[in-house]
Each structure stands twice: as C-alpha cells, then as structure tokens.
Structure 1
Amino acid sequence: MLTAAQRLRRSSDFAAAVRGGRRVGRGAVVVHLTLPPTTGPTATTSPEPARKTGAETSAPSRAGFVVSKAVGNAVVRNKVRRRLRHLVRERLDQLPAGSTLVVRALPAAAEASYARLAADLDAAVAAARVPRGRRPR
C-alpha cells in the first residue's frame, strides 16, 4: 500500500499532472509523469548557491491511478488498480523526489498478465523520463 503522502487524492492534483506532465502510452497503460523543476546554475542570477528548504528536499514522489469503466466491471477495475498500485509502489523510489505519476489503465489492462503490466509500466516510465528533445529513434 502506498503511504498517504505518496497518494494523489484531489482532482486538481490529477489535472495538474495530466496537463503538465509528459504523456507516454505503452501497451495496456498510459503514464503522465511530472518531474520536479530543476534548478541549475543558470536558473539563478545570484552567485550564491541556492539553499533548499526542508519542504523542497523531502517532497515524496506521488502516484495516482485512473481506471475507467471501459476496463471492466468493479471487480476487474479493482483488480487492475491493485496490480498497478503494487507495481508503482516498487518503482516510486526510483523517481526523483517531488515527481507526480498518474497511471491510466487502458481496456487491454483487464486481460493483461501481471508481467505484461510491469513491462508496459516500466517502458512508459522510462520513455517519460527522457527529456523532450532527446528521444532516441
């Protein structure tokens, strides 16, 4: 189970992640990933190094799930959500602190095996982490 600090709950959080994040679809899932803003040496005009507050350094990565009725009835949707939640829990610590991940299950997720869901999720997250201008072709 994800901790309370790692879960997305408000619709505004979901909307911000979907609108502002990178969207990548692979197989049975679509991933919306919002990475935290990076503060590089060119981001500040001051010669002093940027100081991080406690809130910036300890912001956990958060995840949310969207499983619509198109996936199946309530039993199937909950099974898919449980599988995705377990897969994301294992991978959430690999994302940068402060990241927001929304996983949307496609109807194919109802028939997908656990291994296929894992492979699709890994491929989608890996593709979403690649910077916009540097996608390998």
Structure 2
Amino acid sequence: MASQPQKLRKRPEFLRVASRGRKVATSGLVLQVLKTDEEAPARVGFTVTKKVGNAVVRNRTRRRLRAALQRVARDTELASVDLVLIGRDSTRRRPFGKLIADLEHALKKGQAL
C-alpha cells in the first residue's frame, strides 16, 4: 500500500458513509464503502456497538478489525475510498484467517479493490 489510511473521526463522516455508501455484511464483520472523487489515501473508521460487550471486549474487537485491515492493506492498494468496519459479536471469536477472508470478500463485493 502506497500510504497509510487516514482515520474517520467525526460522527458526520461515519453517517455520510452509512447513508451514501454500499453495505456488505459477512459472518465476521459489516463493511460500509463510499468511493470518493478526490485522489487521496483511504480513510477508515471502526465501530463496535455496546451489544457486543463491555469496553474491554469492544476494544479487543476493534483491534482485531484494525489488524485484519492492516494485513489486507499490505497486499492491496486502497485509495479514494472511505471505509467503515463494524464489529459484530462473532468478530472476537472468529479465527483470524477467516476474519481476513471476510474482509477481503467484503472489499471485493463493495468494489473497494
């Protein structure tokens, strides 16, 4: 990957991706993808609801999603796209190899690759 993805930080950015982007659900995660017009590095946000568990569980889930994205982004070019990865209850128990496969499948189906 040419450059590190930037972070989505503000709620309106997450809402814009949710309302205008594509949504792809897999067993391990939900991915929302919004292509942008500008030639810029990818921007990524992570979110996990309180339904998944307490703060420790949610943070662990978010770290697993971040690690999976880093592994996938190492081999692929992500640019001009906003991504939101939503952790599910199954994300924390999913074998890491399958979580990576879920993310790759979601990126291809969401046309981010």
TM-score (norm 2): 0.83
1:117 to 99, 103, 108: 99
Following superposition, the deviation at residue 60 of structure 1 comes to 1.2
Output the CA distance in 2 between the equivalents of 1:110 and 1:86: 12
Following superposition, the deviation at residue 36 of structure 1 comes to 2.3
Output the CA distance in 2 between the equivalents of 1:94 and 1:72: 33
Following superposition, the deviation at residue 75 of structure 1 comes to 1.5
Higher radius of gyration, 1 or 2: 1
Which region of structure 1 is more displaced relative to structure 2, 65-74 or 13-22? 65-74
Output the CA distance in 1 between the equivalents of 2:49 and 2:95: 18
Which secondary structure state, in structure 1, belongs to the residue aligned with residue 110 of structure 2?
helix
Following superposition, the deviation at residue 116 of structure 1 comes to 1.9
Partner of 2:69: 88
Which secondary structure state, in structure 2, belongs to the residue aligned with residue 129 of structure 1?
coil
Aligned residues: 107
1:1-137 maps to which residues of 2 (within 5 A)? 6-37=6-37, 56-57=38-39, 59-92=40-73, 94-95=77-78, 97-129=79-111
Unaligned runs of 5+ in 2: none
State the Cα RMSD in Å: 1.8
Output the CA distance in 1 between the equivalents of 2:90 and 2:56: 15
Question: Which ranges of 4 or more aligned residues in structure 1 deviate by more than 6 Å?
Answer: none
**What is the percentage of aligned positions where both structures have the same residue?**
36
The answer on whether the counterparts of 1:8 and 1:14 sit within 8 Å (CA) in structure 2 is yes
Higher normalized strand content (fraction of residues)? 2
Q: Structure 1, residues 22-75: CA drift from partner, whole Å, max 9, x if none?
A: 1010112110001124xxxxxxxxxxxxxxxxxx43x21010011111112222
